[in-house]
Amino acid sequence: MLHQIEDAKADKSIIEDKILVLLDQGDKIKNDAEAENALLKEQEKLFLAGKEMVEERIEEIDDRLAQLDAQRKQVIVEVDPALLSHYDRILANRDGLAIVKVKINSCGGCNMLVPPQVLNLIKMYERIITCEICNRILYIEDEAS
């Protein structure tokens, strides 16, 4: 019986040691979780601040877009309907870029070479000239501006 009691005490001691190790691990995990929660709260504050800035910027852009849309509606009355239809078709098919500047004898939309005779036609301002490759409307910026 004494031998069994001593074995039980030894087993008890081993179990107590394991319990202490597990309690230490639990405390460590609890401390790590608290540190991670604090870090999460800081990151959440930074995220919310950034989100607020983005939402303000979106609101500004929406306001500016509404202003520009109102201006467009005022000006659109004076534009030839056929020309406007042509412009809208190009705008829809070319990812929102319908009018491009000729830069160094190249189309600003597709970067293909614009022949010299086409450059002369653009400079004459007699009609709307489009790129032969991407069909965007071409213009040349005046040297004076």
pLDDT given at position 40: 97
Q: What is the pLDDT of residue 31?
A: 96
Per-residue model confidence as pLDDT tens for the chain (145 residues): 888 888 888 889 899 999 999 999 999 999 999 999 999 999 999 999 999 999 999 999 999 999 999 999 999 899 889 888 988 888 888 888 889 999 988 998 899 999 889 988 988 888 889 998 899 999 988 764 4
Q: Up-side HSE of residue 94: CA atoms within 13 Å toward CB?
A: 20
Q: How far, CA to CA in Å, does 107 sit from each of 24, 27, 39, 77, 83? A: 70, 67, 51, 29, 20
Q: What is the pLDDT of residue 73?
A: 92
Q: Which of 121, 128, 100, 123 is nearest to 112 (CA)?
A: 100
Distances (CA, A) of 49 to 57, 63, 71, 117: 12, 21, 33, 55
pTM of the model: 0.56
Predicted confidence at residue 143, as pLDDT, reads 61
